[in-house]
A and B are shown apart, each in its own frame.
Chain A
Amino acid sequence: MTKDVVLDHVSIRFGSYTAVDNAHLSIQGGEFFSFLGPSGCGKTTLLRCISGFVQPTEGRVLIGGQDMKNVGPNKRPTALIFQNLALFPLLSVAENIAFPLEVRGVGRKDRRKRADELLEMIALPGTGDKKVHELSGGQRQRVAIARALAADPDILLLDEPLSALDLKLRQHMRTELRAIQQRVGLTFIYITHDQGEALTMSDRVAVMNAGVIEQVGDPKTIYNRPRTPFVASFVGETNSIPGQVVAQFGTTVTLQTPLGTLSGQSGGGRDHRPGAACLLFIRPEQLFTSGSAPGANSFLADCEAEEFEGSVQTLHLKAAGLPLRLCRMNAGGLTAAAPGPGALTIGYDPQAAIVLPQGADADAAA
């Protein structure tokens, strides 16, 4: 069974410090939902609030429609996977996994049977009698997941569980986690500062900054249609070009920038007054070199350096003193010649560029 989680105007304060400011969103049952933000943005506090270790200063947490006020962590239908996993070092692997059953008074034989089933599921059969410290990092990771699943929760909370793993293992565990989530069909609430993890695994992502939820949406929306400058620059690479609004027609905004007159889509559907200071965000992969002379929505730039990463090539450009990055796939034409230092004509698709007001905060967050 899956349950939804509703954060009803939740604020959490420690003294004068506000860790979470007016978080208001709902997470559907069976959803893989991520909180993405830099360290210290309050996402772990929010997770601890959902699991019951922290009480909200204001607002309510509802799980399955039920107010969780005064419900202890051991009474909530949640299971938390800690950042350091918090496996019990003195217990064996099977005892760790069976711990939630043990405290519910399940008999020794049934516990062991369930633990072996779960070990089978996480592809670690036969390791039940080992000690935790005899396992590798990835194996411990999976044991922690199995232990949380043994508690038979409706909601699984994960606090940066992959951050201690090396890159290869992390990428492997991403697909594994997503597969487990789809197999068991639970609500997963995932905390991470790694935007790659958030984008690849999640159904929806909430981007947090300084205690404020800046934007909630599916990964594509978050990446392609950021609503605030923070979301635009925190999620993925981007180029930001400052400018003044000249005019707005529908959602298309035209800016006067040091690179000339450029236009883009108004982020979050805002209306911009002419003369307002704005930022134009263009993803590196949306920039392209063009053979023709600069026209509308294109400008001249110098190529200062190039990075070749195999599948992708990155050009470090400079235009009117602004550093810019351009990415392109290593397909056909690229093998011919990398553009040398000198004036290049750079173009972009104005439909893929976003205009956001400078200093915009979360006022537009849904």
Chain B
Amino acid sequence: MNRAIGGGLFSLGYALLFFLFLFGPLIIMVITAFNSSAFPRIVPWECFTTDWFGVLFANQRLMTGLWASLWIGFAVVALSVPLGLAGALALSDLGPKARAALYGTLITPILIPGVVIGISTIVFWGAVARGVGAGYDSPFFNGIFLTLLGQVSFIASYTMLIFISRLQRFDPLLTEAALDLGATPGQAFRRILLPFMKPAIGSAAFIAFLASFENYNTTVFTILSGNTFTTALASKVRLGTDPSLSALAVIIIALTLIGAMVREAHARRGERLRRSGPSGLYASPLTRTLVHPATIFVALAGFAAFLAWQGSRHDASVCRANILREKQEMQERLLREQQERMHRLQQQAPAAAAPQAPGNNPSPFGGAFNPNTLAPPASTIPAPAAPPPASANPSPFGGAFAPGSLAPKQ
């Protein structure tokens, strides 16, 4: 019995630790998105604020990167899904020897480091451009075009793997039956094979999009002077982070949760209706409509929109002004203490300490003018009404460079 209780406690504790490990970082990140502190942290808690979302959307560099990423993502899906499907079909039709050789070749891009693919993409297409005599305004020197090619070259292998595993469960006799019944090869493909591949096409498109969207190590080379969302994010982190990244994390987590719940509703509905027909929740038309994936999506999206609207009306300036005043008072107090201490020192050792204090002994200064406590208030003093993040954010940097980086593309 004791052992059972001990075991129960142990597994409970283990489970807690496990979930803490999984979700702890996410939870902390979500909280920091609403703290007005200019550095992402939860303690000390300063003010509840939604300003970081505004900062995020005001960041020109991130936003243009986001559009570039979305554009590239959809183009990668449009290219790599048909390419992967073609590769999988070719593999399934070959003899064992040729298949092993071709499989090895087609799978190599996954094994090659992304950095190598990135560099070789630039080098190769640069050589092609020189070969055909194309100038720097040609697609061969366009970051988005190169990123597209670089990403497709390995993401098509991912999609091909997905299609291969689905094709293995396809009975090739079905295609023969369709041909025998008078279908042309095209009709057999569209009417028999393609419907069978539909789930795989969906998941391949999804994975291709994600792989494209989150790719960094190939893209950072192929995008040249431009930016995708990931590379903009990475350079922002390198220059100094602020809670607007946490705000971004909140948005991504919210989108993921909504997507997961809608999908779950869709899956449960399909399973229940297929297995036992309409029963339980699915029996009455009202509840059936309520648990329909579309209803759930509308409800969740509406809820999120409501929260966003509420958040946009929240004003943290009063609280923030208080914090600012506190900080200023604290600073003044420290300054006073410092002056008193120096005064005492001068009285104790008027001959030796006085010339040394400013040059040789920085500790009285250093203790009081700690960069952590000093920097934020110092920068906010000139304009107390303006939100501090605006000036602490590197966006002025990005904003200044964004037009310059965009210009050659257009």
Instruction: Say whether A99 contacts B178, CB under 8 Å.
Output: yes
Can you offer 21 A-B residue contacts whose CB atoms are under 8 A?
A51-B180, A53-B176, A72-B179, A73-B176, A73-B180, A74-B180, A74-B183, A78-B180, A80-B177, A80-B180, A82-B176, A84-B171, A84-B173, A86-B176, A90-B195, A90-B196, A99-B178, A99-B191, A100-B182, A103-B182, A103-B184
Instruction: Say whether A147 contacts B181, CB under 8 Å.
Output: yes
Measured between beta carbons, the chain A residues less than 8 angstroms from B178 are 88, 99, 103
Q: What 1/0 mask marks residues of chain A from 126 to 149 whose CB sits below 8 Å from any chain B CB?
A: 000000000000000000000110
Instruction: Say whether A99 contacts B183, CB under 8 Å.
Output: yes
Q: How far is the CB of A191 from chain B (nearest CB, A)?
A: 14
Residue B17, interface by CB 8 Å? no
Instruction: Say whether A79 contacts B180, CB under 8 Å.
Output: yes
Measured between beta carbons, the chain A residues less than 8 angstroms from B171 are 84, 86
Q: Which residues of chain B from 147 to 178 have a CB within 8 Å of any chain A CB?
A: 171, 173-174, 176-178
Q: How far is the CB of B175 from chain A (nearest CB, A)?
A: 9
Instruction: Say whether A88 contacts B182, CB under 8 Å.
Output: no
Residue among B173, B181, B192, B195 having the largest count of chain A Cβ atoms under 10 Å = B181
Measured between beta carbons, the chain A residues less than 8 angstroms from B187 are 103
Instruction: Say whether B181 contacts A99, CB under 8 Å.
Output: yes
Q: What 1/0 mask marks residues of chain A from 143 to 174 whose CB sits below 8 Å from any chain B CB?
A: 00001101100000000000000000000000
Q: How far is the CB of A158 from chain B (nearest CB, A)?
A: 12
A147 to B177, CA, bound (A): 10
Q: Which residues of chain B from 172 to 231 have a CB within 8 Å of any chain A CB?
A: 173-174, 176-184, 187, 191-192, 195-196
Q: How far is the CB of A298 from chain B (nearest CB, A)?
A: 54
Residue A109, interface by CB 8 Å? no
Q: Which residues of chain A from 71 to 94 have a CB within 8 Å of any chain B CB?
A: 72-74, 78-80, 82, 84, 86, 88, 90
Residue A104, interface by CB 8 Å? yes
Interface on A for B, CB 8 Å cutoff?
51-53, 72-74, 78-80, 82, 84, 86, 88, 90, 99-100, 102-104, 147-148, 150-151
Complex A-B, nearest 3 residue pairs according to Cβ-Cβ distance, in ascending order: A86-B177, A103-B183, A100-B181
Measured between beta carbons, the chain A residues less than 8 angstroms from B183 are 74, 99-100, 103
Q: How far is the CB of A313 from chain B (nearest CB, A)?
A: 44
Identify B181's interface contact among A52, A90, A103, CB under 8 A.
A103
Instruction: Say whether B181 contacts A79, CB under 8 Å.
Output: yes
A73 to B173, CA, bound (A): 13
Q: How many A-B residue pairs have CB under 8 A?
A: 59
Instruction: Say whether B173 contacts A102, CB under 8 Å.
Output: no
Measured between beta carbons, the chain A residues less than 8 angstroms from B192 are 88
Excluding A74-B181, A99-B183, 15 further A-B contacts by CB distance (< 8 Å) are A53-B176, A72-B179, A73-B179, A73-B180, A80-B177, A82-B173, A84-B171, A86-B177, A88-B174, A88-B177, A90-B195, A99-B181, A103-B183, A103-B184, A103-B191
> In this complex, what residue of B is CB-closest to A52?
B180
A78 to B195, CA, bound (A): 26
A86 to B174, CA, bound (A): 5
> In this complex, what residue of A is CB-closest to B186?
A103
> In this complex, what residue of A is CB-closest to B274?
A131
A151 to B174, CA, bound (A): 16
Instruction: Say whether B182 contacts A74, CB under 8 Å.
Output: yes
A260 to B179, CA, bound (A): 60
Q: Which residues of chain B from 80 to 125 have a CB within 8 Å of any chain A CB?
A: none
Measured between beta carbons, the chain B residues less than 8 angstroms from A148 are 181
> In this complex, what residue of B is CB-closest to A85?
B177
Measured between beta carbons, the chain A residues less than 8 angstroms from B184 are 74, 103
A150 to B183, CA, bound (A): 13
A73 to B180, CA, bound (A): 5
Measured between beta carbons, the chain B residues less than 8 angstroms from A150 are 181
Measured between beta carbons, the chain A residues less than 8 angstroms from B181 are 74, 79, 99-100, 103, 147-148, 150-151
Measured between beta carbons, the chain A residues less than 8 angstroms from B191 are 99, 102-103
Measured between beta carbons, the chain A residues less than 8 angstroms from B179 are 53, 72-74
> In this complex, what residue of A is CB-closest to B176?
A53
A53 to B171, CA, bound (A): 16
Q: How far is the CB of B385 from chain A (nearest CB, A)?
A: 65
Measured between beta carbons, the chain A residues less than 8 angstroms from B180 are 51-53, 73-74, 78-80, 151
> In this complex, what residue of B is CB-closest to A75?
B182
> In this complex, what residue of B is CB-closest to A76?
B180
Measured between beta carbons, the chain A residues less than 8 angstroms from B174 are 86, 88
Measured between beta carbons, the chain B residues less than 8 angstroms from A147 are 181
A147 to B173, CA, bound (A): 15
Q: How far is the CB of B184 from chain A (nearest CB, A)?
A: 6
Measured between beta carbons, the chain B residues less than 8 angstroms from A103 are 178, 181-184, 187, 191
> In this complex, what residue of B is CB-closest to A72?
B179
> In this complex, what residue of B is CB-closest to A104?
B182
A104 to B187, CA, bound (A): 10
A100 to B183, CA, bound (A): 7
Q: How far is the CB of A91 from chain B (nearest CB, A)?
A: 8
Q: How far is the CB of B228 from chain A (nearest CB, A)?
A: 38
A53 to B188, CA, bound (A): 15
Q: Knowing A88-B192, A90-B195, A103-B187 touch, does A151 contact B173 (C-beta < 8 A)?
A: no
A100 to B179, CA, bound (A): 9
> In this complex, what residue of A is CB-closest to B198?
A90
Measured between beta carbons, the chain B residues less than 8 angstroms from A86 are 171, 173-174, 176-177
Instruction: Say whether A151 contacts B182, CB under 8 Å.
Output: yes
